[in-house]
Amino acid sequence: MSLSDAVAHNPHPHTFVSLLFSKEHLRKELNYHNPRLAVRLESQSLEEAVRIWREEMVKGGIQKAVQNSSHYHIEQDMKRRLVQNPGDIEAKRYFAKQSSQELIQEQYYQMMNEYPEAMGRVLMLYVEANINGHSIQAFCDSGAQATIMSKKT
């Protein structure tokens, strides 16, 4: 289960944070994507970590709403300007940039669907091992795009 899967399937903060505390790979992935939040959650009690998680989710939701509202009003203003003056250079540039961004986003989604391994960092598989009486953390490199092992191995 990836971090995004865990967030999607565990919307209640207490459930999610409990899962995060119990699964090391989820903590590592959170640290990769949001190191500031990972540090804030580290060494906290469950109740305090839930409070921090809620705070971060609310803050992110409010920031996104403000950003969406701002983009909406700018776009409406540019549309109005084009209706009033079809030759408005600034409005034309705005919509050309929007079109370019949409094309970039489409290409990104296509790349994610066709070559996902090229678009992100892969968390590596390490296992505890004992070699000649020395405990080590061994890196498993099969050369494959995915490694699947049973817990018994």
> Annotated catalytic, 141?
yes
Structure tokens at 50: 């839930």
> What one-letter code names the amino acid at 90?
E
Query: Which residue among the candidates 5, 77, 88, 141 is catalytic per the annotation?
Result: 141
Query: What is the rounded distance in angstroms from the CA atom of residue 112 to the CA atom of residue 117?
Result: 8
Structure tokens at 68: 């969406």
Structure tokens at 113: 């669907």
Q: List, in sequence order, the alpha helices (H) in the chain.
A: 3-9, 13-22, 24-33, 35-41, 46-84, 89-114
Q: Enumerate the active-site residues.
A: 141
